[in-house]
């Protein structure tokens, strides 16, 4: 009976994987069509926000998702499944010359899943990069940033450790953030296990992962500990209090809308006696810090069609005003989450390789 059940389960999984593979093939063939044809199939005219024209492939994907009509009620299960499906359809693959290994970080009282990436061209002087995926603190996994982490490892020539922090609402704030901070400290202290210099690590992430990374740099300063080697902040969420600018003009942008952001925060932040002004906590909104002086050098990347666009730029400007060395770039034609679309959107793949090259130059300039 057990054998029959297991055989049936394997068969169902095989059919599902085959179906997903077929869908991916069809989608990728469609995305190879010329831009004008894709635009004609996705509303007929280019999508322009704040003078920025959305990439035709992103427009086609967004139209394909939204034309299905009203979405089912947004639940954590539905959102997580949807994120993984989109990653399978549009995500890239492991870079040639990069090996990866799943592992568990044994921290005090808990284990955190992680995945390490080691490039064949690893520079023994290059510090370990600890990376945190996107997802509003509610969705996302090691898979959503798999391709990007391998691009970073190969381009920089450094090991990368991707951390699968706990998610809300099962584990509301500050559980995921605490995982991020503790895993960074663990990685810094165990860097030699990855063939990297001891006692130092860079930190990076996209969206919520960028939020965590910015907070980690500030938290190290508050604890009077050494700064990260580098901050890599990709379309970071730096404050939940912002309501103007791109928060309005990109409120309906795919895939991160204002409504979805509100849903994320409703799940991420606990309803408790911590107080109604939790958004003012620097461990939620790092942009509210009274001073950014003395923080690690930063690379800040934003996307043109993203509610978080303006706050990312503002954070880069605030860092620069505090005499922190900053590289800032906005990819005007791309949308939030573009790092997970490297397999289906060539402009997203180029952007990821470009930002990795910027990080590589920063590493070399600082002796890593």
Known catalytic residues are: 207, 306, 336
Q: What's the gap between Cα 171 and its chain centre?
A: 19
Specify whether the CB–CB gap between 130 and 67 falls below 8 A. Answer: no
Total residue count of the chain as it appears in this document: 368
**Residues 252, 135, 46, 309: is their CA dihedral positive or negative?**
positive
Residue 45 to residue 60: CA distance in whole angstroms: 11
Residue 158 in tokens: 């450094």
Number of Cβ within 10 Å of residue 327's Cβ equals 17
Contact 353, 151 (CB under 8 A): yes
DSSP letter for 340, please.
Answer: G
Other Cβ atoms closer than 10 A to 227: 18
CA dihedral 93, 99, 102, 105 (to 10 degrees): -120
Structure tokens at 160: 């990368």
Phi first, then psi: give them for residue 161, nearest 5 degrees: -120, 110
Which alpha helices (DSSP H) does the chain contain, by range? 2-31, 35-40, 56-66, 76-90, 146-156, 175-189, 208-222, 246-249, 258-268, 309-321, 346-365
Q: Which residue has the tokens 């490039």?
A: 119
Count each helix (H run) and each strand (E run) in the chain, helices first. Answer: 11, 10
């Amino acid at each position: 009976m057990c054998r029959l059940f297991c055989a049936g389960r394997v068969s169902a999984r095989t059919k599902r994987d085959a179906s997903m593979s077929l869908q991916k093939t069809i989608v990728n063939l469609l995305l190879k069509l010329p831009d004008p044809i894709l635009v004609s199939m996705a509303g007929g005219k280019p999508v322009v926000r704040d003078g920025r024209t959305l990439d035709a492939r992103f427009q086609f994907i967004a139209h394909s998702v939204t034309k299905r009509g009203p979405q089912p009620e947004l639940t954590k299960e539905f959102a997580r499944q949807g994120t993984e499906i989109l990653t399978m359809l549009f995500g890239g693959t492991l870079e040639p010359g990069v090996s990866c290994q799943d592992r568990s970080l044994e921290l005090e009282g808990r284990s955190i899943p992680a995945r390490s990436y080691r490039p064949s061209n690893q520079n023994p002087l290059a510090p370990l990069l600890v990376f945190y995926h996107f997802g509003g603190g509610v969705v996302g996994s090691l898979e959503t940033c798999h391709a990007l982490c391998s691009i970073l490892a190969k381009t920089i020539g450094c090991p990368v450790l991707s951390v699968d922090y706990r998610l809300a609402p099962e584990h509301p704030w500050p559980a995921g953030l605490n995982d991020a901070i503790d895993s960074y400290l663990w990685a810094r202290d165990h860097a030699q296990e990855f063939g990297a210099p001891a006692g130092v690590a860079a930190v990076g992430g996209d969206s919520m992962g960028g939020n965590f990374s910015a907070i980690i740099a500030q938290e190290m300063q508050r604890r009077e500990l050494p700064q990260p080697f580098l901050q890599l902040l990709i379309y970071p969420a730096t404050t939940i209090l912002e309501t103007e600018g791109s928060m309005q003009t990109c409120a309906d942008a795919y895939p991160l809308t204002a409504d979805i952001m509100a849903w994320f925060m409703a799940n991420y932040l606990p309803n408790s006696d911590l107080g109604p002004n939790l958004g003012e906590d620097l461990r939620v909104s790092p942009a509210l810090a009274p001073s950014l002086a003395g923080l690690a050098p930063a690379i800040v990347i934003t996307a043109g069609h993203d509610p978080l666009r303006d706050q990312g730029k503002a954070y880069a400007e605030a860092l620069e005003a505090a005499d922190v060395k900053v590289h800032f770039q906005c990819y005007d034609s791309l949308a939030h989450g573009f790092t997970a679309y490297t397999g289906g959107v060539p402009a997203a793949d180029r952007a990821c390789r470009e930002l990795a090259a910027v990080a590589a130059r920063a590493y070399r300039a600082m002796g890593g």
